Each structure stands twice: as C-alpha cells, then as structure tokens.
Amino acid sequence: MSAMGHGPGAVHLRRLSFSFPTRTGAPLPVLDKVDLAIPGGGIVALVGPNGCGKSTLLRVIAGLLEPGSGEALLDGTPIAGPDPRIGLVFQEPRLLPWRSAADNITYPLELAGWPPARRRARLARLSELVDLDPAVTTSRPAELSGGTRQRVALARALALEPEVLLLDESFSALDALTRERFDLELLRLWHRAATTIVIVTHSIPEAILIADRVVVLSARPARIVADITIDLPRPRTIAALDDPAAGRASHRIRAFLEDDEGGEIAGERAASIPLARELAS
C-alpha cells in the first residue's frame, strides 16, 4: 500500500530560517534555509545531533515560533500561530497535575468550548484510540505510570482530530520495551486516523520503524543533510527492523550523522543547496 497519501495535512517548509535572540544582541541561528515537503498522511522522522534545532523546527511547524525568513505552509497556506489542525506531543507528558486523566484528555475540547456531553463522547473514542485503560481515567497524573501518562498526552494531542501530529522525542523517556510498543501503536493509530506524522527522535531504529522518510539534520544551525526513503512495506511489525533494507538505511543515516560531527559538509548536503534555491525560485 502507498504510505504517501494525498489527503489533507501536507506540510511544506520553504527556505525556512530561524534565529533565537540572545542577550549579547547577535541572534543565534538555529535553522538555516530548511526545505522540506511532507505529503498529507506521510510520516517523516527528523534525526540530528543534540541541540541542532530539531525541536525548534517542530515548534515552527506547530505555530509556536514564527519563522525568521522563508515560510511554513499547511495545506498550502502559511501557518500563522497554533492551529487546531496540528496536534503536538511534547517530550514529557506535560499533563495538568490537578486534573484527572480524563480531564487532561478533554482539556483542548474544553478550551475550544465543547459542551460536556460532547466532550464525554469524544473522550470514550480517544481512550479507545490510544488503548487507555478506562479504569485510570479518574486518576491524577501522579498516580499513573510514565507510559500511561504519555498515552494520555497522545490522546490529548488527538482530541481535536488534527491533520498533523507532531512528536518531540515523545517516547524517549520510556523504557526500551514500552517504547517499541508505543512505536507500533503509533503506526496502528496512523492507519486509523490517517494523520501526517512528524517525529523528532534520537533513536535510529525508531525512525526507521515508523517513517516513510528519515531526514537527517546538521549541527546548529540545522540544515538538511540527507533525506532517506525507508523502503519497507506497511503495515510494519518489529520484524521490519531485521529487513536488509532497514540495515542499509540505518547504515546510511549513521554515516551522515557521523560525517556531520566531523564538521565536514557531506556531499549530498552541498548538493542540496542549489537544489533548494531551485525549489524556492
């Protein structure tokens, strides 16, 4: 089956640059002319060295940061601030500690002004979607395990039926086995909800298991070093990682990451700059 749909949720980044203001006055460049096209329903994983600006890139797509130059488009129109069509799962669950799990999940609906009856109906569907044990919905976050908390956070991000789901290293705090389960559940969820997924991760196996394409970013300021298509059939299981194609992809991603740490400009990155200009013009 085709992983690249053409439904809603297409994200386009065009020569996107971003700098953080600093106390000394000279802005700190974080993103440098990033060009990226993600078709609606596609899954892209962003990998790169620590502090390279992956999370910043995600925040620009989420509308939390305004691009310095260039543009970020959702379905062809510029992303102007946070958008209900985009759901964001943070690195930590980020739940409101004084609310029950259920009230955390329906928090976006509450803010959007949904009446309680509709919220309850949606809660039931969301709990089922992320496979949340109904018995824990009345518990406070402090009483839940790390995995369950992240499940609640995932349900919250899906509450408004987003076209795009952004995950910022969301499973990185989980133990290896739980993480694997979450990766597979994310795929199962993707088959049902058909959202575009952009996931920032440090785990190359996770990136390969989930994504259609793995985009490798350079050290700060982040540029796209490589855009590697993962040629594995869907639906995928954990066995997909044993496929020779997965091994080859892993090898290539690692090579690009190591290349960049040496400070060398990889051949493909140098080649991507004129290409980017071409795209922008």
Residue 81 found at the interface with another protein (CB under 8 A): yes
Per CB under 8 A, the list member of 48, 53, 63, 70 interacting with another protein is 63
Q: Which is nearer to another protein, 110 or 268 (CB)?
A: 110
Q: Which two tokens stand for residue 238?
A: 């954990």
Q: How far is the CB of 219 from another protein (least distance, A)?
A: 25
Mark residues 194-213: x for contact with another protein by CB under 8 A, - for none. --------------------
Residue 114 found at the interface with another protein (CB under 8 A): no
Residues 128-157 that bind another protein (CB under 8 A): 140, 142
Per CB under 8 A, the list member of 25, 76, 97, 262 interacting with another protein is 97
Residue 110 found at the interface with another protein (CB under 8 A): yes
Residues 216-275 that bind another protein (CB under 8 A): none
The amino acid present at 132, given as its one-letter code, is L
Q: Which is nearer to another protein, 51 or 84 (CB)?
A: 84
Q: How far is the CB of 108 from another protein (least distance, A)?
A: 5
Residue 80 found at the interface with another protein (CB under 8 A): no
Q: How far is the CB of 82 from another protein (least distance, A)?
A: 5
Per CB under 8 A, the list member of 36, 57, 88, 211 interacting with another protein is 88
Q: Which is nearer to another protein, 94 or 234 (CB)?
A: 94
Residue 82 found at the interface with another protein (CB under 8 A): yes
- What is the distance between the alpha carbons of residues 85 and 249, in angstroms, rounded to a whole number? 31
Q: Which is nearer to another protein, 30 or 257 (CB)?
A: 30
